Amino acid sequence: MRVISTRWIMFLADNKEFENNMVSTTDELVFVPLGGIGEIGMNAGLYGFGTKKNRRWLLVDCGIAFAGEELPGIDIIMPDLAFLESQRDRLEAILITHAHEDHIGALMDLWPKLRAPVYATRFAASLLEIRKFNEPGAQKIPIHTVEVAERYQFGPFDVEFVPMAHSIPESTGIAIRTPLGMIFHSGDWKIDETPFVGWKTDEKRIRELGEEGVLAFVSDSTNVVRDGISPSESEVAHSLKDIIANSTGRVAVTTFASNVARIRAVAEAAAACGREVIAVGRAMDRVIEVAKESGYLDGLPDFRSVDVYGYLPRDKVVALITGSQGEPRAALARIAEGNHPDMSLTAGDKVIFSSRAIPGNEKGISKLINKLVEQGIDVMTDRDGLVHVSGHPRRGEMERMYSWVKPHISIPAHGEALHLEEHRKLAKKMGVAHAIRIHNGQMVRIAPGKPELFDAVQVGRIYKDGSLLIPHTDPAVSERRRLSNAGIVSVAMAIDAKGMLVGEVALAVFGLPQKSVSGQSFEDIVEEAIFSVLDTLPKAKMRDPDTVESAVERAIRSQVNQNWGKKPSCHVQVVNV
């Protein structure tokens, strides 16, 4: 055993009955997801042990999701951890399964609210450290490196990290032993006997856990609707080598920056074809730096700086580029728009999308692909050849995993409603006694007794808006939606003590069409609405700025709606002089 929490020692000192009996008759083992259930991303799974008043907690992962067009101005979405903040003095540790953003991306912003030690494998810890150095003012987070061969004690939780194959190095499942039974939290995984880089899923160890007895299995549901077994990462490597060897112009490969196996596969293919590799994008640079330090890129020629890109012959370069999800500020989008400072592509060059669209990103990716095709650039996706495989298990792999784990309870995680329901059905088919579908915020009692949903906690979303964290209820977001849908009218005027207009009315119209169906300008329509109020409102009411403001706003919205079918946002300011 490596770690004994000082919080737990203090807890025992104050709770002699628990110390003497170890498991009281009121102790419970519970699970409550704060994010990641019924959605892709924002993974945050919370495990608790003890009585309701003295429950100790483990948080597994703390991830983000990426915002779409429905959230103007918002880039990142995080889980609301308000419940855990209220319990943070009982939080033993934060455990990280792997270094994908949907599992670690919220940690930098939300850790100050929790302030618990963080435990992760070397690769994930290194990525967190390098991110911290690149974020001005980031707080120092106590990150501890774990080994998969070790056991760790966090209060009542005995924790073991188990190697799992995935699309990033050093992914783990986590076996959580408690006095009431063991939970196996799978993290993201697949079964890949030739993963090209990183660990294989440790079948031997997982079978041993199954024989020891797994009470509950909380596992990935992402690809449950796909039959069979996922192809191996090594198969993609062979395919990319053939594609690059048969290309005549420049080749650009866009993939998730975290996919070190894919980065190595591209680099090996380039070397075999006499091409130089150039990495483009800050996220790619960060991962490559950590991958080199970790030994995952040993034996490869050094990657070249983007500064030399324009000097290399077209048939002697392969570019690794960020932006596979159509992100407008990523390198590939800037290249497609022709405004990247160091790199361009021309007709006859090839772009390989070595990735699959994250749900919600399809429109942005399609727009990006069309821009490239319009320029005569050859685009390849996974529809055209084996250029990508998922890091998540298909049904055949899930069936094998269930035969190894043999859990008494299954709790599907990491997926939308369809995935969770199909996973539940599969678990029942595999003979699991209890397969439970839950939602974020629902608390399931795993032990003692029959598992059941018995409580709920506050959950929600937090938006990262520039450098600020705002709740999903903040009116700024809904106001931006209204502005994008129907524009804004701004009016300012001065009224004297007699209720008479002083000077000119200041008027600005943004986001409205120029003219109505009749050909009248909307500025004129708005101006007529304003003066209809000023001409008809009684003098007594004209002396009240609030009354004038309300009347002018109603008139503008009504008149514009009659001529357009939409009501703009209005800002009217009236001052007494």
Strand partners, 29: 49, 447
Quick: pLDDT tens for 454-512.
999 999 999 998 888 989 888 888 888 888 888 999 999 999 988 899 999 999 999 99
- Which amino acid, 56? R
User: Considering only the top CATH level, what class is 487-576?
Assistant: alpha beta
Predicted pLDDT at 371: 96
Max distance between CA atoms of the chain, in angstroms, equals 89
Q: Please list the residue range(s) of the chain that carry CATH number 3.40.50.10710.
A: 233-380
Q: How far apart are CA 275 and CA 241, in angstroms?
A: 11
Q: How far apart are CA 189 and CA 558, in angstroms?
A: 56
Q: Please list the residue range(s) of the chain that carry CATH number 3.60.15.10.
A: 6-228+390-471
Q: How far apart are CA 543 and CA 233, in angstroms?
A: 75
Q: How far apart are CA 413 and CA 222, in angstroms?
A: 8
- Cis peptide upstream of residue 448 (ω within 30 degrees of 0): yes
Quick: pLDDT tens for 222-234.
999 999 999 999 9
Q: 289: number of CA atoms within 13 Å, CB side?
A: 13
Q: How far apart are CA 242 and CA 282, in angstroms?
A: 28
Instruction: Give me 493's structure tokens.
Output: 């005027």
Written in H, E and C, the secondary structure of 346-396 is CCCCEEEECCCCCCCCHHHHHHHHHHHHHCCCEEECCCCCCCCCCCCCCHH
Whether residue 15 has pLDDT greater than 60: no
How confident is the model over 275-303, as a mean pLDDT? 94
Predicted pLDDT at 130: 86
How confident is the model over 75-88, as a mean pLDDT? 94
| Segment holding 163, helix H or strand E | strand 157-164
How confident is the model over 110-138, as a mean pLDDT? 88
CA 454 to chain centroid: 28
Per cent of the chain over pLDDT 90 is: 82
Quick: pLDDT tens for 257-272.
999 999 999 999 999 9
Q: How far apart are CA 75 and CA 64, in angstroms?
A: 10
Q: Please list the residue range(s) of the chain that carry CATH number 3.10.20.580.
A: 487-576
pTM for this predicted structure = 0.87
Instruction: Give me 275's structure tokens.
Output: 């091409």
| CATH of region 233-380 | 3.40.50.10710
Predicted pLDDT at 485: 86
How confident is the model over 345-359, as a mean pLDDT? 92
Q: In CATH, which of 3.60.15.10, 3.40.50.300, 3.40.50.10420, 3.40.50.2000 is domain 6-228+390-471?
A: 3.60.15.10
